[in-house]
């Protein structure tokens, strides 16, 4: 049964609306029932477009709506921004551009990235740069950073163009440009859809918003559902200011707050609200009313004098299980890897890394021995050489690949690669292993991929491989010995109820118990987030983590005021006694 504010949002239908839907407020229920209400009040289902940000969300939305309205669900259009915009491009742009895969994009960016810059940096910054209508808004630290970034950015775009491809960011930009110059396409979309419903509206960027307005036209109605306090994708150009701009652009917009929280206990909700209320200029100032409330303690602040003490407390609390679903949420992927080692199996990551190194050696040995095509597809980008999967998909030999890249810049890369393979074929096992390590560059490649795996550990793995190679007489026996020393990696079973993930990846999910370690300055907020707007986004990110908890929330911080000691995060200072 819906509450009063949900019913108000569901039955609103006289113009544009902004539904402020906080954590656990039932936004999917509201959105699907609103679509049902539109159809029941005379709107044709094929006039309704529902846009989400992820395929998972689109699938869930459509599935739930199908259960509500099985007769009309097929006529209503559901899709992500990227899928809808890509269909528009394919329909009205006569060029036949293919969409680059995420794997090929990352491989090529890795190939382009300089030694002192990470792939993740370029991946995020390329997306953000493309999302800006006004490129001068992009701020570089200095001219050197600008020069390095633009070099990679331009090379990446030249590669896409030469391959006849576009990426996900280009979809948004090209659709926007197409609609600005194609009156036929605009008229078709204006006539096609009378109602556009947008989920997770806080994640929209300026180009998406501009395109959305063109699609709606002067007569279309936009029904936007979102929560400004969960706007956490600034690196993609998203900003909660667009929600405020929406109200200005559509003066008769109805703003409806969903005031109940069906997920968390009241104490968790109140705590989270006190944290996020420090962000200025918020649209949504209400304190959610939770359906779950009692006199028990649900927020647990654990203050330690050292990180070692804090980690011991986390382990103690995590394994007081009581058959609950648990999540340990962290700011970065690097911290996720560290805590997986601490909480799940301290040797698991090292064994998996060792297995990966040996598998790379086995792939090289396998190709040199048998010219196995699957082995070739693996080693071609170990280390990264920027050869996209689209080129490798249907090849049956190295010669086939050479014909495909003939006349392109990749021909030189393949030429060097082939020469190294020829040299490898004539080497004994020990020289083979040394050549892979030092000349082909596997050692440096594995060092770059190592994350939290120590250099000493990598050195020991290579010592073992070289030791095995030194006693083998040929490559076949070397291959057999490598198979013997390769660790067996047993996947985690579904009985393991501890999820360890980042704040970003936790968005949209929930658990009975949530544990947040390292709530200290320099980590929460991240040390790189020093400007006021970035600290506000870091606070929103922390808020997302807090509001994943249904029953109990554990926050671990360190208070050590001695020289060089850690201090609690500014986001929780007022709660430290």
Residue 354 placed within a domain: yes
Mean pLDDT of 334-346: 76
Look at residue 489 in the predicted model and tell me its pLDDT.
47
The HSE-up count of residue 536 (CA atoms within 13 Å, CB side) is 16
Residues 115 and 51 occupy one common structural domain: no
Look at residue 209 in the predicted model and tell me its pLDDT.
95
Look at residue 39 in the predicted model and tell me its pLDDT.
95
Please give the Cα distance from 548 to 65 (Å, whole number): 25
Burial profile 513-546: b = 16 or more Cβ within 10 angstroms, e = fewer: bbbbbbbbbebbbeeebeeeeebbbbbbbbbbbb
Q: What pLDDT digit, counting tens, does each position of 86-143 carry? A: 999 989 987 777 888 877 888 888 888 754 447 778 888 888 888 777 777 777 878 8
Residues 528 and 560 occupy one common structural domain: yes
Q: What pLDDT digit, counting tens, does each position of 381-422 carry? A: 998 888 888 788 788 899 999 988 888 878 888 999 999 999
Burial profile 285-315: b = 16 or more Cβ within 10 angstroms, e = fewer: eeebebebeeeeebbebbbbeeeeebbebbe
- Cα distance from N-terminal residue to C-terminal residue, the chain: 41
Nearest to 86 by CA among 154, 186, 168: 168
Indicate the residue among 489, 522, 548 that finishes a domain: 489
Look at residue 515 in the predicted model and tell me its pLDDT.
97
Tell me phi and psi for residue 221, to 5 degrees.
-110, 125
Nearest to 49 by CA among 247, 173, 191, 246: 191
The HSE-up count of residue 284 (CA atoms within 13 Å, CB side) is 27
Task: Please count the other Cβ atoms lying within 10 Å of the Cβ belonging to residue 183.
Answer: 9
Least confident of 214-228, 276-290, 492-506: 492-506
Say if residue 378's pLDDT is above 60: yes
Strand, coil or helix: 254: strand
Residue 430 placed within a domain: yes
Please give the Cα distance from 507 to 260 (Å, whole number): 19
Residue 276 placed within a domain: no
Mean pLDDT of 552-577: 83
Look at residue 333 in the predicted model and tell me its pLDDT.
79
Residues 358 and 472 occupy one common structural domain: yes
Residues 49 and 193 occupy one common structural domain: yes
* Confidence (pTM): 0.73
Residues 86 and 12 occupy one common structural domain: yes
Query: pLDDT band at residue 185, thresholds of 50, 70 and 90?
Result: very high
Residues 149 and 209 occupy one common structural domain: no
Residues 22 and 52 occupy one common structural domain: yes
Residues 403 and 311 occupy one common structural domain: no
Look at residue 494 in the predicted model and tell me its pLDDT.
38
Q: Average model confidence (pLDDT) for the chain?
A: 87
Residue 498 structure tokens: 């501890």
Residue 60 placed within a domain: yes
Say if residue 200's pLDDT is above 60: yes
Q: What pLDDT digit, counting tens, does each position of 269-288 carry? A: 999 999 999 999 888 777 78
Strand pairing partners for 258?
21
Mean pLDDT of 47-59: 91
Residues 467 and 550 occupy one common structural domain: no
Say if residue 346's pLDDT is above 50: no
Residue 273 placed within a domain: no
The DSSP secondary structure of 49-65, one letter per residue, reads: EEEESSHHHHHHHHHHH
Look at residue 121 in the predicted model and tell me its pLDDT.
80
Q: How many domains does the chain have?
A: 4
Tell me phi and psi for residue 499, to 5 degrees.
-95, 130
Look at residue 488 in the predicted model and tell me its pLDDT.
58
Parent domain of 158: 98-163
- In angstroms, what is the C-alpha Rg of the chain? 27
Give the distance between the most distant pair of CA atoms in the chain: 81
Burial class (CB in 10 A: 0-12, 13-18, 19+), 179: buried
Please give the Cα distance from 176 to 190 (Å, whole number): 15
Residues 64 and 185 occupy one common structural domain: yes
Residue position matching structure tokens 């014909």? 403
Look at residue 345 in the predicted model and tell me its pLDDT.
57
**Residue of higher predicted confidence among 215 and 348:** 215
Q: What pLDDT digit, counting tens, does each position of 65-75 carry? A: 999 999 998 99
Residue 237 placed within a domain: yes
Indicate the residue among 258, 274, 308 that finishes a domain: 258
Mean pLDDT of 193-209: 94
Say if residue 505's pLDDT is above 60: yes
Q: 143-162 and 119-131 are packed helices; what angle lies between their axes, rounded to 10 degrees? A: 80
Nearest to 27 by CA among 222, 203, 204, 224: 224
Rounded to the nearest 5 percent, the helix, strand and coil shares of the chain are 55, 15, 30
Contact in structure between 48 and 197 (CB atoms under 8 Å):
yes
Residues 120 and 193 occupy one common structural domain: no
- Percent of the residues in the chain that have a pLDDT greater than 70, as a whole number: 94
- Beta strands (DSSP E) in 41-148 are 48-52, 77-80, 98-99
**Residue of higher predicted confidence among 1 and 511:** 511
Say if residue 565's pLDDT is above 80: no
Look at residue 492 in the predicted model and tell me its pLDDT.
42
Residues 444 and 547 occupy one common structural domain: no
Residue 440 placed within a domain: yes
Residue 322 placed within a domain: yes
Please give the Cα distance from 495 to 493 (Å, whole number): 5
Sequence-ordered alpha helix ranges (H) in 371-474: 373-379, 389-392, 398-405, 410-425, 429-434, 442-448, 455-471
Q: What is the CATH number of the domain that holds 318?
A: 3.40.50.300
Say if residue 577's pLDDT is above 70: no
Please give the Cα distance from 51 to 201 (Å, whole number): 9
Q: What is the CATH number of the domain that holds 389?
A: 1.10.486
Indicate the residue among 489, 509, 538 that finishes a domain: 489
């Amino acid at each position: 049964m819906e509450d009063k504010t949900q019913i108000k949002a569901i039955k609103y239908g006289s113009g544009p609306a902004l539904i402020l839907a906080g954590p656990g407020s039932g936004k999917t229920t509201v959105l699907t029932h609103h679509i049902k209400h539109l159809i029941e009040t005379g709107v044709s289902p094929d006039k309704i477009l529902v846009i989400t940000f992820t395929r998972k969300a689109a699938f869930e939305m459509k599935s739930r709506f199908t259960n509500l309205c099985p007769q009309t669900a097929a006529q209503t259009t559901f899709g992500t921004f990227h899928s809808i915009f890509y269909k528009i491009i394919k329909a009205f742009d006569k060029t036949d551009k293919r969409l680059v895969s995420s794997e090929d994009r990352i491989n090529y960016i890795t190939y382009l990235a300089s030694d002192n810059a990470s792939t993740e940096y370029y991946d995020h910054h390329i997306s953000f740069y493309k999302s800006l209508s006004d490129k001068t808004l992009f701020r570089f630290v200095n001219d050197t950073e600008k020069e390095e970034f633009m070099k990679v950015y331009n090379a990446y775009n030249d590669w896409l163009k030469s391959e006849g491809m576009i990426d996900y960011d280009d979809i948004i930009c090209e659709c926007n440009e197409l609609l600005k110059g194609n009156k036929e396409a605009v008229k078709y979309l204006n006539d096609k859809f009378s109602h556009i419903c947008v989920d997770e509206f806080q994640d929209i960027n300026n180009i998406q918003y501009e395109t959305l307005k063109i699609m709606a036209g002067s007569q279309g109605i936009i029904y936007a559902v979102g929560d400004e306090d969960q706007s956490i994708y600034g690196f993609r150009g998203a900003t909660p200011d667009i929600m405020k701009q929406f109200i200005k652009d559509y003066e008769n917009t109805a703003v409806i707050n969903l005031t109940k929280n069906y997920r968390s206990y009241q104490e968790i909700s109140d705590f989270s609200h006190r944290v996020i209320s420090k962000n200025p200029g918020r649209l949504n100032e209400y304190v959610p009313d939770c359906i779950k409330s009692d006199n028990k303690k649900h927020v647990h602040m654990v203050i330690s004098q050292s990180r070692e003490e804090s980690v011991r407390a986390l382990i103690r609390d995590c394994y007081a299980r009581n058959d609950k679903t648990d999540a340990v949420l962290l700011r970065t992927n690097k911290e996720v890897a560290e805590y997986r080692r601490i909480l799940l199996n301290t040797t698991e990551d090292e064994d998996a890394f060792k297995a990966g190194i040996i598998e790379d050696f086995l792939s090289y040995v396998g190709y040199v021995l048998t010219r196995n095509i699957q082995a070739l597809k693996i080693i071609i980008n170990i280390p990264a050489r920027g050869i996209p999967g689209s080129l490798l998909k249907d090849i049956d030999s190295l010669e086939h690949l050479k014909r495909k890249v003939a006349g392109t810049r990749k021909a030189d890369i393949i030429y060097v690669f082939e020469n190294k393979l020829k040299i490898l074929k004539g080497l004994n096992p020990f020289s083979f292993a040394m050549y892979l390590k030092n000349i082909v560059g596997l050692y440096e490649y594995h060092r770059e991929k190592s994350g939290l795996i120590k250099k000493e550990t990598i050195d020991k793995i290579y010592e073992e491989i070289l030791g095995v190679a030194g006693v083998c007489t040929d490559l076949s026996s070397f291959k057999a010995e490598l198979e013997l020393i390769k660790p067996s990696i047993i996947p985690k079973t579904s009985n393991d109820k501890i999820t360890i993930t980042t704040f970003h990846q936790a968005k949209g999910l929930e658990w009975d118990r949530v544990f947040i370690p390292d709530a200290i300055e320099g980590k929460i907020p991240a040390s790189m987030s020093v400007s006021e707007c970035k600290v506000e986004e870091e606070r929103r990110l922390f808020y997302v983590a807090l509001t994943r908890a249904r029953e109990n929330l554990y926050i671990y911080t360190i208070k050590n005021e001695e020289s060089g000691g850690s201090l609690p995060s500014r986001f929780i200072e007022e709660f430290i006694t």
